[in-house]
Amino acid sequence: MNRTLVLLVLVATSVAFGESSEEQRRAERRALMEKRFAVEQRIEATAPRRRDSPLRYKNISDSEAREVKSIARKVLPRAIVNIGPVVTGCPCEEGPECTDQVWVTVDRGETSSGILLSRIAGDWTIGPIQRWWFEKEDLDRRRSSFSQHSDYYDAEDALVDRFPACSSEAVKAAENANE
């Protein structure tokens, strides 16, 4: 009888531990999925697009316009460049030295495309977010070249993991602003 009781206690304990570890695994998976969902939402929220506010007091100088055109023509040579309004502020993923952004449309006859330039450390440049989106577009163009769908999804997951992250200072500043 004692043996049976000990055996029942051992079985019940192992089942209980098995369930709790399974619950823990589920909770960990759920937390990872929630974190991934939050990253994907942030990626979509920061997708390069034209912004019309808040406008910078001084829109754009002649020298800045030349700098912007030069950068846009590096992406698409011999194209007509249309510069949108300069807006102040940048997503924190652009880094603490980003002060302004401008949407530039590059027109090549039948097609046009836009790129978002960021003013980082006093210079107009293709910022980290726009560079990431260029990589995403390139990956999507090469999708059919992957031998298996899972290979593409692995590459996409790796790219999502490389999305620019906000510095800890920027996160703290945003939290303080929301309080």
The 10s digit of each residue's pLDDT in 27-62 is: 888 888 898 889 999 999 999 999 999 999 988 999
Q: Which domain holds residue 126?
A: 46-178
**Based on the domain organization, do 20 and 108 belong to the same domain?**
no
Q: Is residue 8 very low, low, confident or very high in pLDDT (cuts 50, 70, 90)? A: very low
CA distance linking residue 132 with residue 36, whole number of Å: 17
The 10s digit of each residue's pLDDT in 74-131 is: 887 777 889 999 999 999 999 999 999 999 987 767 777 889 999 999 999 999 999 9
**Based on the domain organization, do 51 and 63 belong to the same domain?**
yes
pLDDT score, position 137:
94
**Based on the domain organization, do 19 and 78 belong to the same domain?**
no
Coil, strand, or helix at residue 13?
helix
Coil, strand, or helix at residue 121?
coil
pLDDT score, position 99:
96
Q: Is the pLDDT of residue 152 over 70?
A: yes
Q: Is residue 170 very low, low, confident or very high in pLDDT (cuts 50, 70, 90)? A: low
**Based on the domain organization, do 140 and 69 belong to the same domain?**
yes
**Based on the domain organization, do 57 and 8 belong to the same domain?**
no
**Based on the domain organization, do 109 and 169 belong to the same domain?**
yes
Number of domains in the chain: 2
**Based on the domain organization, do 126 and 162 belong to the same domain?**
yes
Instruction: Identify each DSSP E strand in the chain by its residue range.
Output: 80-88, 98-108, 111-120, 123-126
**Based on the domain organization, do 63 and 8 belong to the same domain?**
no
CA distance linking residue 121 with residue 126, whole number of Å: 12
**Based on the domain organization, do 30 and 52 belong to the same domain?**
no
**Based on the domain organization, do 26 and 89 belong to the same domain?**
no
